[in-house]
Amino acid sequence: MKMALLKAPTPQLQWRCSVAPTTLAFPNSHSISAGRGKGREWSWRVKCTTSATTSGGGSAEIEKGAANFSPGSPVRATNILVVGATGTLGRQIVRRALDEGYDVRCLVRPRPAPADFLRDWGATVVNADLSKPETIPATLVGIHTIIDCATGRPEEPIKTVDWEGKVALIQCAKAMGIQKYVFYSIHNCDKHPEVPLMEIKYCTEKFLRDSALNHIVIRLCGFMQGLIGQYAVPILEEKSVWGTDAPTRIAYMDTQDIARLTFIAIRNEKLNGKLLTFAGPRAWTTQEVITLCERLAGQDANVTTVPVSILRFTRQLTRVFEWTNDVADRLAFSEVLSSDTVFSVPMADTYNLLGVDSKDIITLEKYLQDYFSNILKKLKDLKAQSKQTDIYF
């Protein structure tokens, strides 16, 4: 990649219920609902400037990933940018990449509490915001591969980051000659257009494919890490655990395994342009997960069951008010996760393709057993220390 790429014509995005990049001239445009029946129009301009700053206050170009970059310099395949590096999956991607010798740059939003732990690990942290496309290009200088783990915050509209921001990022990646783009999507997103987040994920997959970027799409079913806060901690703290009466089954996977398989896929050139789905060894219902946590914790859970019918009614009610649209969007996703659906796929062919032994993939039983064993041991030690420090008069 040469610096001359920064002088490419300014890509523009004009979206009125469809994507139509006018400068990069992608082959097709893809429709996506916007406005709940009302016409809405978004437009912005992506400028290939170099004004993004690092969390330390310096310009992106002077950080280690781009410090030695000059016109004509080859970009090493080990130079990667992780977008969404502070998230549940993103931080595991960063750790794995650093362990395997990659030069890791992390794109994170400016925040009151800096992501110092990423720098402590050895990564470069660059401040930028997908909702502000003009901050993106500088973060891509000297980058070979983008690994996109980002998703919007619960308090912001789904479209802001997961659609508008991703379109801008893909356009910039195309304009600046990024060699590979890894995008994480959701299993079965193509089967649920009624759920905004899943529709957006599927549209982003198509937009990425039509961009002609060298890419890999990885669809995921669920993270084991998410079960800790949802079930394990409330049970230990004797708080309510929320569940549903639906028979949904999800094949949860450890994000460390996802990260390991991701880098195997990145290094396999035969997987360029492929769609992969990663799933855990077994699909679990909510009640089965709760029962497992109860057994490992040695105590019963205070379970509050929410019928699926209540979720449906709540979603319909929130649709009445424009200011609750985003709440309704998230309830729609909850409704899918609470339906008679199986989020799992057979993994034998994928393991063979990646050269991975299925025995090396951690099971949910093992993951939760390790968690409860460590936590209960710490609680026991704290209790013992507390007794040793008691003072009697």
pLDDT of residue 159: 87
Q: Which domains does the chain have, with CATH numbers?
A: 74-220 (3.40.50.720), 224-250+281-344+362-392 (3.90.25)
Handedness of CA 62, 67, 70, 76 (dihedral sign): negative
Gap between the Cα atoms of 119 and 176, Å rounded: 26
Q: Specify the length of the chain in residues.
A: 393
Tokens 């529709």 -> residue: 199
Gap between the Cα atoms of 77 and 218, Å rounded: 20
Read off the pLDDT of residues 340-350 as tens digits, 9 standing for 90 and up: 678 899 999 99
In the chain, the N- to C-terminal Cα span, in Å, equals 75
pTM comes to 0.77
pLDDT of residue 72: 54
pLDDT of residue 230: 87
Residues lower than pLDDT 70 in the chain? 1-73, 243-246, 306-340, 379-393
Give the number of other Cβ atoms within 10 Å of residue 134's Cβ.
Answer: 18
Contact yes or no for 290/362 (Cβ under 8 A): no
pLDDT of residue 49: 33
